[in-house]
Amino acid sequence: MFAQVDGRLSYPLSASHEPREGVKRAARCAEIAAIGPQFEPLAQTCDVASRSPKDLPNFLCEQTEQRFRSDSKQRKWKHDGLVAAEVGYSRDRGETYSHLTVNGRQVPIPPSISKHSDLLQYLFSLGYGGWWQLGEFGGDLIFVFRPSSHATFKRRSEDTLASGTLLVFDFRVNSVNSSYTLHSEGATIHPGIEGSLWIDKSTSQLARIELHATEIAKNSPVRSFERNTTYDLVSIVDAGQFLLPVASETVACEQRSNCFRDRVTFDACRKFRVDSHVIADQ
């Protein structure tokens, strides 16, 4: 059983810490820009990631998660259910979840649960195993540019698609600096992360992020982990257009050869003003 619950779109910071963290993130983007002119699009993506927590409005999106499982190394996937939820964002609470259903069945969430990790354990206690994507909404991008990640970057190539030319930047975060968190069989793992960022050459807009786990100990219950996420401009009524994740696919495997594959889509995004009972990591 797996879950990635760190690297989320936003995480609560006390008011006294916010200015200092903002300065650090801005300095990190400036460091990337200083590498050379070819890295300016990457620096702009860093700036978007740094500003997102304070620039985004309060909004809700519908998250749909198609789940698959394989018990063989050949990865012959079998459908393993459908999970749906409202995923929301607010400046003061970060990422939140509500109206959770599994295969159309409502899963009541006790009011006492206030963290992603608590929600995860609650779902496991109800017998809902497999992979759970909690805290994933936009979090990978924040993780890559977080100053404490000390990511290294390399300009790789250009890729021409029907939609235009994309610049590809590879990155690496060593496990010693990684806050990326995987949970499996009671173990908490902080792997190293390698991947690529795909950025539109003409607009410097992020189009895709791909990543996979590295430096996984041989005795770890996790054998492999990889994810790709597609970004696009999303219109939120009465708020404007914002760069948000629109789809992602994750494949994670245990040492015992069990593998999980999740395809997630986000749609029907809209602004909200009235608070409701949600789950937020703190």
Which tens digits make up the pLDDT trace of 2-40? 554 443 322 222 233 445 666 788 899 999 999 999 999
At 275 the pLDDT is: 47
At 215 the pLDDT is: 95
Tens of pLDDT, residue by residue over 246-270, are: 999 999 888 877 888 999 999 999 9
The residue with greater pLDDT, 103 or 135, is 103
**Alpha carbon distance 59, 80 (integer Å):** 29
Tens of pLDDT, residue by residue over 110-143, are: 877 767 777 777 887 787 776 676 655 667 888 8
CB 40 within 8 A of CB 224: no
- pTM for the full predicted model: 0.84
Helix axes 40-55, 18-34, angle to 10 degrees: 160
Supply 257's token pair. 């050869």
Supply 252's token pair. 């994670």
Which residue type sits at 70?
S
Number of independent structural domains in the chain: 1
CB 267 within 8 A of CB 235: no
Tens of pLDDT, residue by residue over 166-223, are: 999 999 999 999 988 887 767 788 899 999 999 999 999 999 999 999 999 888 888 8
Among 242, 239, 261, CA closest to 250: 261
Tens of pLDDT, residue by residue over 139-160, are: 788 889 999 999 999 999 888 7
Please give the residue range of the domain that contains residue 122: 2-280
**Alpha carbon distance 99, 119 (integer Å):** 13
Q: Residue 269 to residues 15, 60, 245, 257: CA-CA distances in angstroms?
A: 28, 5, 11, 37
Tokens 């496991």 -> residue: 124
